[in-house]
Structure 1
């Protein structure tokens, strides 16, 4: 079963086209310290600064809508550049100069029809922390990735509901939900015990 996950954001991604220069697509695949919407109705997620430190040297692809048949760039060929800034994981793509890319990607980006960005990743072992916040929500903080597979401008910035990644995450969520509830129950039991003994 695949451990690959994808996240999509409704954040700025834009096309820059200057006379006599190759077109560029610029955006953020991920942002730091901002909570996601509910994922699978079970938890929210945030990414800690430093989480990408081990994967910036990976051979990453830039895809359109995570479609491996629609490659826009690649770090190995220097048509995709990744960097970290104060906001998060920034990418800059120099896409192929083809009519297909101009029609299906650059024109909709320029018009503002496509505004989302996404990235596909694997979390490192012990690279995430789960907790319950003050509102009773389960929050996953990713502190370290083991692999960055792709960054993508996307038409629909939403978590995918189907596929191996969703099934893998769903199984992990069930396990985490049980662990989180046990931890909460244990904490309440300890607090009650300390109340009883007057400590």
Structure 2
């Protein structure tokens, strides 16, 4: 589990979207063993996919590594539509137990979710169930906090960021416009693009500083070796 005592840096909280090829809507089984008397319907699919390359605003490519969720905190995860966090969640996972209306699990593909939604008493749940069933909505997204990452190709136009560890997942959403194999940040979202650009510039600046320090240390070692030999 993640370190719950440490403060969460909101600058590190990010959202990623994926087109879910296995996003499904199905009837839930009632206590009677059939689905006719149940007010609930089930939605399932992968909110995150391992080893899939996603372009972040055209600034860098990003990959979620296998094992990234190994120490992740799933204590309280909400399920929304289009990240509308001001609305009542359609499902919720509390400590990821069997009594919750949403369960999360890690498999060979990535982060899998299964949610039970009330389509009888909740109009938004009913509309979402219909949209997924018709294929009008086929994307999922999740909001999370990165605790460890690594970069390659920082000297190229499009470097690659590998997310090695995710400390917490806050929410999962069904989304209208997924971005699997496309650009994760919409060109219309200027602030998100600026944030992506600044994040990359910060990483490149740090990498340059580290490189300069390494060269200085190496030169000192050479100098000491030469002086030591006199």
The answer to whether the 8 Å contact 2:56/2:196 transfers is no
Pick closer, same or farther for the CA change 1:185–1:40 going to 2, 3 Å: farther
**Matched residue count:** 185
2:27 to 10, 13, 17: 17
- Identify unmatched segments of 5+ residues in structure 1: 187-199
Give the whole-Å Cα distance in 1 for the aligned partners of 2:136 and 2:109. 23
The answer to whether the 8 Å contact 2:57/2:196 transfers is no
1:8 to 14, 17, 24: 17
Q: Look up the match of 1:67.
A: 84
Of structures 1 and 2, the one scoring higher in RCO (CA 8 A, sep 6+) is: 1
Give the whole-Å Cα distance in 1 for the aligned partners of 2:59 and 2:89. 33
Shift of residue 104, structure 1, vs aligned partner? 2.2
The answer to whether the 8 Å contact 1:14/1:25 transfers is yes
RMSD: 3.0
Shift of residue 183, structure 1, vs aligned partner? 7.8
Task: Report the TM-score when normalising by structure 1.
Answer: 0.79
> Is 2:24 aligned against 1:45?
no
Task: Report the TM-score when normalising by structure 2.
Answer: 0.69
Q: Look up the match of 2:111.
A: 89
Per-residue CA deviations over 1:169-198 (Å, capped at 9, x if unaligned) read 442222123445778999xxxxxxxxxxxx
- Identify unmatched segments of 5+ residues in structure 2: 1-8, 29-34, 214-230
**Structure 1 residue runs of 4 or more that deviate by more than 6 Å after TM superposition:** 181-186
